[in-house]
Structure 1
């Protein structure tokens, strides 16, 4: 039993090692807490590791996840407890005692070298659950190629010796490291933790019980997860698109949506699984890209729920650029057709019967809470909702019914990766707030070897070329590239790696550096934007300066753009590697200096997001300055009265404002705007002024959170602004709140969806409009049960648990009528009487209805943030919303370090989602403020004063305003402010400025290498 002298324990247990659990663990560890990461499987990674690509960027899932796996596995303050489960939790918030049952893996991880000799010789062959049963594995196995921990484990139930009592010991006999240990026993660990985060993930719905879909009887009917493994480069078919029955490439594939979701007749899952529409679109696009021949892809759906940021654009691209066909119909039955084909009969929107044949059918299965997660909740005393997801509040989205126990990811409710990651950070921030007094009391510090002094030692370069399955190896002839690299000057070691970013390959790189005395490393793989820090960290662990690393991007710049030209792609890969090696030979060590951090935060925006971010940071122990441009706090929430669940928004907001104003660590500056911004990560200086301009002051701070919100679109269509009874949903909400009696006289109301959204001016979905309409419609029905309500919609996007309210609305007699974008409803007024004309797709005729009111579901548009974005030098998209650093794995970070975003400044979202993002941003900011490892220097520009003519070219050209003319009349560059963009160095006419790591000779040698043999 570990002990602690503080009032709280400075350690946290995270249960579940998927992407949400990994993010929570890393955030907490980086914030100064020790983390126990508990995972039932033999490796972390969860469902994300099984995916091929991720939407809407089509990034390789494993490529972007792998660095996180390695970071988590090597972090000194994270202890991985695989093959383990939390069995009991006693105590209260801050001082829990947890019991963890660790099952034996029968392999000593400290000895296992992950060579695979054991699995190669093992005689027991079983179905591979990780590959969704599409392939086989041995009883001793590694969960997947890039698994962390990278060692093997024995499946005791299928092992001939352990599970069946036979005398087999083949794996132990052939293990060169003596890592197999049949004597391992279960262990019970008794651990002290201050908080617990549950991120137990999900299980895919099993369609075996739906006999009308032939899932049990036909090999070419597969689930969406099975299809992901078919497409995956690490899957059973190495990323080649084949159908299971005969491994032939399919020509026609159908996707059937809502299998195991939105269905209370066959599976009792009334909710929407939130992600299925988008992953079906993604799979259709990727399948078309994988297919060697033209592929026909058809998606059968009820409502296309592409509600996320840029999701609608992705949907439109699937149709316009890729030719994916979308059919609005719920398929009841799949029938057999000749030649292992499948027949689908369906009813079109026009009511006509149609039939098509396909080579494969993919069932887009929903997400469920596993029996194991349900049992865990029972052991911990956590309340679940009717669908077995954790019971949370819209105002406390990551808090469970037990104080000190938090939840994130799909266990909280169905969601995609970005919101699972954001919730993970939010849960970490909540836990950090509980344990602020014990921050740093249990962390372990990574001890790095002293950096080697290379002196005048000649370059000794190692080249590691990544195969990465279909991403690179199916296009580029990797062995030829490796063979070529071995002949290049200064190269003393080359090798091909299946996945260079995996944990075991990092160990191979470390061994190669040691054995071959490498002093430069070149990796030919994917993008340095995502992977360079991983490999640089590996070099640091070997005593090499991290800047002695070079990367050749043979994926993004080669295999992805030359998929149909393997010969030319291989030649280009050779060129890229030759260029990288030439530059590597000239690389020099660079020095970075420790950075002192101002531990105060600035939050810009005083709506619900900004208030929650400020309050969480204060709970973590940090001083906060909260700047709000309006006189009152609350933002757009001041116009909201209740949530769709019936919670009182104004009461919550009033209490939230009271807490913020009463917190001694938070300074509230209302009626104030940001007027100036300068500085660098950890040391920013912001000038603020009151709107009147009478008062100005500066704020020194280490981080900033942008929470400036969004605004309601102001309609100019449908007689809005011309007729008093044409209003928006926010207007209706106010009217309900102020004049419920007047509404009782209404006889008919029509609501029109997608007003100001999903059009050329604002192509994305505004996410919240459908639930606003249903919420207000249900309230109207409560006030006036006889009122006729018609909602005219294009797609009802009631994702997650919102689907229940959509179902309730239909049960209450609220009518839903779909309209086409090309044929919208028309609103007219005759002598003040409103009429709405619309087409009914069921009756197939035009309907004209007199109404008492027309309610427009107006979209959400970005606030006017152009000046703020310019001051902070952070990007916005075409619609004006701020752009996060990475759509999947850094949803609340800007690319600029030390600046974060949350709420509707990022894009439209519900109150619960805004609160979660706010807490996530506060968590990320808190981890930054707690960091002891931040540095400045490295890739920065430096001035040679003897060459400077003080011509001011650098001063005028720098987008960050860094160069200044000093008292000696020469340019001076503050390396803490320099962003390393190189514009000043390229513009300087006297060549007085040099950008470290990108000197002229280092750039020109790459150009010379490219043109070698050409000129």
Structure 2
């Protein structure tokens, strides 16, 4: 695999003649580095460690049941095998081909929940949590490869509960030729004439059989092979499903002290949960080993940077295929040949994946070999990959600001998939513009600044307290600012979780630990008024009942939580028998006789969410409804309980509770979003009318209590905090992370982090894991003694400055001020505060401000090159340069 880490050759013992038959060994004799030694024997190594993190991952379920036809029919593949077909490094080079005849499939079916949500032998009773989402991803990619393909998904529930996934579902559903059918399906045969697969399912009018060119089995997640052996060696407990046993109060801690877990070994989960769980596990391990901090760390050393000032530009251009993401649309070889013809370019080549380990090593080697002093990488977004390529330049002894990137993926191949010729021409234009700018790049130096070790945590709920304790346990001073008079947040309204955690005891224990910790200062009834500064050196004004104070800190964690919305429908607020799940839970716990003695309870799901106003899933509602329904059934077994739902989203191990609710006699009635339930008050009763999607008729349910699963919405202060700390919110009002998958606890402004429900709705164990993960990322930042500030900052030419103050007014970072000189007031820029956004540059009436790395000359070169001859564009700027 071209992107394997580490990228090294290995011997496949299953196919090697020496290991199979004891002969051959040719490779050993031809290897010039003598790297192959068949005489090696396994050896045991003893490691003395202070903590262990178990991250053994998962294994895909292997379909064994006859109803799927796997390994019997060539055109039945697993989702993992289909993923390889979609990959540019796969067996068909990214082209979707049938295994039977190599033909392109037109009609493709996905069979969901293969190996999951079933209690039959060989299957797993839990939900694998990620299958619905990866189905959608595969359909999107399929439609990009073959726009005329027809894609059908057979499913039980669509569980797009994660951040942005509901929108992804709606987007996929709206594509031409995409169908979602709610039914289990079985493969019953193969058409001998065309090798198409015959699928049987229950449609609206009875049993239906359809032919598909290809069938994809959406297989679930299982514990990794050897999980039992690892658990036995480490002395940790496993669940019945062979996942690691964890405590809800600390879902990264195993049953043995000092042994932590992250990723899918603790239960099925998606990439973001695995990423922040890994950071959290590292943070908790650090708590146990904080006395050893920095003992083994070695500073990274780069070779000295060569001085290329005054040299003619020698530009190298590297054009990436990005697998099939670019190469399937853009003619990469012709772009390389075009780049070779541009002035200043002395080397151009294509790469399959420019970001792969071997590719960045190749770039560094070519820089040295060809004596390049400028580099252009035509690939994907600089937002995600510029740091990697800048680092590569430093490894080659070149100033990192000699890098220019042309985004020919997001800005080109992804938006022009059906116009390859025009996309290729656009790619050439982008490369030409990038080379024009690279021609004028100058070396810049970054400033090193000391870091303050204090951390400000905004929000004193579970997330804020866990994050603060994780930091303080590693000798980091923490300030918690909480708007309410007491800590605990919305969790003070919860009684128990679905798995039985006593939430009140848990919260009170956290509060006691926080107040007793010598490194944590708590400011209650306090609000954030303003914040200035930059990563490593923030100054935040806090208004408290005792007056205003200023806190100096190196990082910020936003843990402001979320809240249950107040419904505007179903007679909420007009009838005392209508309440939200949180209110119902509170009354159940308080022993309200009216609630306990109710003969009929109706719950309506997705109230205020998954609609136009809030087009997201609130994630916790289904499990909360089932939790309260089971508690109601325990208190009053004779009560009739109805849950009206669109999709039941008890993902992961929560599926067991859904099954328990069914077994307890709780009724589940599905309704369509286009035909929601209606509620009216008749005398002393509430009557709920719902169109049953299965029975195909309307039902009238009398309810003594109507419980609404109301949407979870962001805290109302989130918008103000976003402005103060200069971070972004998504369209739903939750804080937008720097990268959904790879940086799920970091926000767009350096030094500002997020955790808990301020990021997106989640269950308490997930909140705890993300809070520890945020602490882990903060610790990674504060572990440095100094931090580098970008060299791409603004400078002022005092000869042109007229002291008008326009730049001061627009700077969002207070980086510009006016100072008195002999020639009057002049603007001056603090390079430490400057973020290089260029607003001051645009408003300056005299052109006195220059933004380094984005100078007028560099930008004009790009613009003129886009519309004029390349040589003329450069010659026109030669004198200024």
TM-score using structure 2 length: 0.96
1:283 matched to 2:138? The reply is yes
Q: SS in structure 2 opposite 1:156?
A: coil
**8 Å contact from structure 1 (residues 743, 784) kept in 2:** no
Partner of 1:152: 9
1:389-788 equivalences in 2 (<5 Å): 389-690=243-544, 695-739=547-591, 741-788=593-640
1:891 matched to 2:712? The reply is no
**8 Å contact from structure 2 (residues 755, 767) kept in 1:** yes
| Higher mean C-alpha displacement, 510-519 vs 422-431 | 510-519
Between the aligned partners of 2:174 and 2:127, the Cα distance in structure 1 is 27
1:301-320 equivalences in 2 (<5 Å): 301-320=155-174
Between the aligned partners of 2:229 and 2:463, the Cα distance in structure 1 is 34
- 1:951-1006, CA deviations, whole angstroms, 9 ceiling, x for partnerless residues? 12212222333222124321122111111111211221111111111111111222
Between the aligned partners of 1:559 and 1:848, the Cα distance in structure 2 is 53
Partner of 2:813: 960
1:207-356 equivalences in 2 (<5 Å): 207=63, 209-291=64-146, 294-337=148-191, 338-348=193-203, 350=204, 352-356=206-210
1:836 matched to 2:688? The reply is yes
CA spacing shift, 1:629–1:998, aligned 2, 3 Å? same
Between the aligned partners of 2:292 and 2:828, the Cα distance in structure 1 is 42
Q: SS in structure 2 opposite 1:239?
A: coil
- 1:269-300, CA deviations, whole angstroms, 9 ceiling, x for partnerless residues? 10000000111111111101111x51111101
- 1:241-270, CA deviations, whole angstroms, 9 ceiling, x for partnerless residues? 111111111111011110010011132410
Between the aligned partners of 1:582 and 1:807, the Cα distance in structure 2 is 63
**8 Å contact from structure 1 (residues 740, 783) kept in 2:** no
TM-score using structure 1 length: 0.84
Partner of 2:878: none
Between the aligned partners of 1:616 and 1:695, the Cα distance in structure 2 is 29
Between the aligned partners of 2:648 and 2:638, the Cα distance in structure 1 is 23
Between the aligned partners of 2:143 and 2:463, the Cα distance in structure 1 is 40
Q: SS in structure 2 opposite 1:668?
A: strand
Partner of 2:841: 985
Between the aligned partners of 1:879 and 1:446, the Cα distance in structure 2 is 41
Between the aligned partners of 2:844 and 2:157, the Cα distance in structure 1 is 57
| Higher mean C-alpha displacement, 263-272 vs 350-359 | 350-359
Between the aligned partners of 2:326 and 2:673, the Cα distance in structure 1 is 41
| Higher mean C-alpha displacement, 978-987 vs 489-498 | 489-498
Between the aligned partners of 1:316 and 1:884, the Cα distance in structure 2 is 22
Partner of 2:864: 1008
- RMSD across aligned C-alpha pairs, in angstroms? 1.6
Between the aligned partners of 1:521 and 1:842, the Cα distance in structure 2 is 62
**8 Å contact from structure 2 (residues 595, 705) kept in 1:** no
Between the aligned partners of 2:804 and 2:101, the Cα distance in structure 1 is 71
**8 Å contact from structure 2 (residues 645, 669) kept in 1:** yes
Q: Please state how far the C-alpha of 1:745 moved relative to its aligned partner.
A: 2.0
**8 Å contact from structure 1 (residues 743, 783) kept in 2:** no
Between the aligned partners of 1:285 and 1:323, the Cα distance in structure 2 is 11
Q: SS in structure 2 opposite 1:828?
A: strand
Aligned length: 866
**8 Å contact from structure 1 (residues 288, 322) kept in 2:** no
1:44-193 equivalences in 2 (<5 Å): 144-166=1-23, 168-193=24-49
CA spacing shift, 1:933–1:550, aligned 2, 3 Å? farther
Q: SS in structure 1 opposite 2:400?
A: coil
Partner of 2:876: none
Which of 644, 660, 665 in structure 2 is aligned with 1:813? 665
Between the aligned partners of 1:784 and 1:455, the Cα distance in structure 2 is 82
- 1:176-211, CA deviations, whole angstroms, 9 ceiling, x for partnerless residues? 44433333332322222221111111110001x111
Q: Please state how far the C-alpha of 1:322 moved relative to its aligned partner.
A: 4.6
Between the aligned partners of 1:647 and 1:351, the Cα distance in structure 2 is 45
Q: SS in structure 2 opposite 1:280?
A: helix
Moved beyond 4 Å, runs of 4+: none
Q: Please state how far the C-alpha of 1:541 moved relative to its aligned partner.
A: 1.3
Q: SS in structure 1 opposite 2:868?
A: coil
Which of 61, 79, 104 in structure 2 is aligned with 1:205? 61
* Structure 2 alignment gaps of length 5 or more: 873-881
- 1:480-503, CA deviations, whole angstroms, 9 ceiling, x for partnerless residues? 222222232222222222221111
Between the aligned partners of 2:412 and 2:536, the Cα distance in structure 1 is 37
CA spacing shift, 1:938–1:737, aligned 2, 3 Å? same
**8 Å contact from structure 2 (residues 113, 218) kept in 1:** yes
**8 Å contact from structure 2 (residues 148, 177) kept in 1:** no
**8 Å contact from structure 1 (residues 949, 970) kept in 2:** yes
CA spacing shift, 1:178–1:492, aligned 2, 3 Å? farther
Partner of 2:800: 947
**8 Å contact from structure 2 (residues 605, 646) kept in 1:** yes
Which of 972, 975, 983 in structure 1 is aligned with 2:831? 975
Q: Please state how far the C-alpha of 1:882 moved relative to its aligned partner.
A: 0.8
